[in-house]
Structures are given as structure tokens and as C-alpha cells.
Amino acid sequence: MAGEGKVFGEEIVKEVLFRVHRFSPDGGGARMQEYRVPVRRGMTVLEGLHYIRDNLDATLSYRFSCRMAICGSCGMFINGLPRLACQTQILELESDLIEVKPLPNYRVIKDLVPDLSPFFEKHRSLMPYIIRQDEPEGELLQSPEELNAYLQFAYCIKCGLCYAACPTVATDEEYFGPQALAQAFRYTTDSRDGGWEVRMEVACSPEGLWHCHFAGACSEACPKGVDPALAIQLLKGEAVFVRWGLKRPHPPAPEAPKVTEGKRREGIPEPPLPTVSKEE
Ligand code: FES
């Protein structure tokens, strides 16, 4: 196929066979459908699906938004692994057969579209936000070291790949799963948080962290290097050390003192006047 034409304005380097999962809730059952797709250098699986939808079959359903591995909506099961379709280069798969299925461990709504509601319900149940007894009005103090303690785990884009890869979720649909528990660790470790007790009570419930078998499949699937398996083991350690009295949950970070007598340093120009008055 090389040199025989162009796709998306670029030279075609080869043609691959896309074998795509099709399912309609209106009946007919699930089946695999095949499409021949011309490939150019740098073309992703998501672009392959765009090619199919635009040129071969407009009825194909799949989910995407940002096309740059940020929004987390294009998670699919590609050649046997959970991956982001927009981040997966067709040529790097080194196969002329691209098999695309919906993510495992989710109910399928249509074709490649999974129902992510249970995933997000579990995420919410572990309170993925700062919990405090007080209501601070200003900034909360945090050192670079305190930021580094949870930063890696804050890179989660909620794509659900770790949940799809988890063998425990596959056998126990009540289990919270790696994403929710990793985020529990992320917020529990945040020096601004004061919700250790309330969040750990949920995390240590029968559906919680003790069900993790440390298979590590979640961390291999994560496209952002979050390492949820590590977060869960650290959360287990946190639970044990605090319960045995070997460690105390950190007190929530104090509020930063208000700057009352700020003085402009020499040489810094005045800000421009507002272009819109507040009264308008
Ligand atoms: Fe946003 Fe792939 S489309 S992560």
C-alpha cells in the first residue's frame, strides 16, 4: 500500500485490519466486525476509528474528547490490553490486526462505549476532596516536600483503565477498585486534609483496600504513571500504623497568614487599570 494514496493528508505506509466489537442494546447480540484501514505514520487507534466512522461505517459508537491523553474518555481494550486509543500508535502495535473491544469490568452500552457509572460512584464514595472541620478563607500552607508526598497520585485522569485491568474487580464487583483507593491515598496524604478517620473508615470496609491482592495489573495499565498498586499498599501501611498507635494522622495544614502590609518592590511597574468597571 505504501505510496498508493494518502490518509488524513499523509502518505499511506500500510493497511491494517481493524476487528471491532459491535453491540447494540436494541438486540442482535455482540459480534466482531472487520474494516480495512489505511495507516499513515503517527496514526493512532482513535484516528483509525475516526477513519472507519467517516468513510466506512457511520454507525460505529465510541467515546473520545481531547485526543491528547488528558480527558481519559477513550479507554478501550486494544490487542488484549486496556489502553487509551488516542495514545496508542497503530504502527507501534507491530501487528496488521488491530482488535478493539470495550474495556472489561464494565457493562457495555453500545459498541465500544462502557458504562462508567459504578466506577465514578466508587470514586465519589471515597471522598476525593479535601475534608476539614474549619472553613478556611485563605490559602493553606504546604511545603514542596508535602506536595511531593501525593503529587504522583494526583496525575490520575480517571480513564478507568486500572479498573478494567484489575483481576479483583473482575471477580468482585463490590470492590472499590484501584482508582478510588489510590485517590483515597492521594487525599489522605495531602497535608491540607483533615479527613483521615472518615475516609479510612470507608477505605477499610469489606469492599475496600484489604481486597487488593497486589497483582499490579492496575499500575501496568495506567497511562499516567500513577501506580495505584503502590498507593494501595501505602494506604494499607497507613491504616496499620495508625491503628496500632505507631503513627498519628497528620493535623490539617494551617491557613497562610494574610498579607496586610504588602509593599511593592522597587522596579516593579503598576498593574494596568481594569478595562471593565465592576459596576457595569
Ligand atoms: Fe481524551 Fe483519549 S480522547 S484521553
Confidence of residue 2 (pLDDT cuts 50, 70, 90): very low
Please report the atom of ligand 1 found closest to the CA of residue 65: 3
Please report the atom of ligand 1 found closest to the CA of residue 69: 4
Mean per-residue pLDDT, 56-66: 97
Q: Quickly tell me which residue has 500513577 as its cell.
A: 226
Given a contact cutoff of 8 angstroms between Cβ atoms, the answer to whether 15 and 36 are in contact is: yes
Whether ligand 1 lies within 6 angstroms of the CB of 72 is answered as yes
pLDDT per position as a tens digit, 161-207: 999 999 999 999 999 999 999 999 999 999 999 999 999 999 999 99
Mean per-residue pLDDT, 252-272: 81
Greater confidence, 265 or 16? 16
pLDDT for 278 beyond 70: no
Long-range contacts of 29-34, Cβ-Cβ distance < 8 Å, separation of 24 or more: 30/108, 32/99, 33/57
Mean pLDDT of the chain: 93
Work out the number of other CB atoms within 10 angstroms of the CB of residue 150.
18
Distance 28 CA to ligand 1 centre (A): 29
What distance in Å separates the CA atoms of residue 178 and residue 115, rounded to the nearest whole number? 17
Please report the atom of ligand 1 found closest to the CA of residue 74: 2
Which of 66-75, 183-192, 235-244 is the least confident region? 235-244
CA angle 219, 215, 86 (to 5 degrees): 30
SS3 for 262? coil
Cα–Cα nearest to 100, from 18, 170, 14, 42: 18
- The stretches of 116-264 forming alpha helices (DSSP H) are 117-125, 144-151, 161-165, 167-171, 178-189, 196-203, 217-221, 228-243
Cα–Cα nearest to 190, from 121, 106, 129: 129
Given a contact cutoff of 8 angstroms between Cβ atoms, the answer to whether 162 and 97 are in contact is: no
Domains and CATH numbers, the chain: 6-114 (3.10.20.30), 117-243 (1.10.1060.10)
Looking at residue 246, what is its pLDDT?
85
Whether ligand 1 lies within 6 angstroms of the CB of 84 is answered as yes
pLDDT per position as a tens digit, 17-48: 999 999 999 887 899 999 999 999 999 999 99
Given a contact cutoff of 8 angstroms between Cβ atoms, the answer to whether 165 and 218 are in contact is: yes
Looking at residue 132, what is its pLDDT?
92
Looking at residue 3, what is its pLDDT?
44
Please report the atom of ligand 1 found closest to the CA of residue 84: 2
pLDDT for 280 beyond 60: no
Given a contact cutoff of 8 angstroms between Cβ atoms, the answer to whether 122 and 177 are in contact is: yes
Choose one of 62, 64, 88, 112 to mutate for the ligand 1 pocket test, by most ligand atoms within 8 angstroms of C-beta. Answer: 64
What distance in Å separates the CA atoms of residue 32 and residue 111, rounded to the nearest whole number? 10
- Dihedral angle sign, alpha carbons of residues 76, 77, 81, 85: negative
pLDDT for 220 beyond 70: yes
Confidence of residue 1 (pLDDT cuts 50, 70, 90): very low
pLDDT per position as a tens digit, 118-160: 999 999 999 999 999 888 888 898 999 999 999 999 999 999 9
pLDDT for 216 beyond 80: yes
Looking at residue 4, what is its pLDDT?
58
What distance in Å separates the CA atoms of residue 238 and residue 182, rounded to the nearest whole number? 13
Q: Quickly tell me which residue has 468482585 as its cell.
A: 172
Residues 72/73/76/82 CA torsion (nearest 10 deg): 20
Distance 136 CA to ligand 1 centre (A): 35
Statement: the pTM of the whole predicted model exceeds 0.75: yes
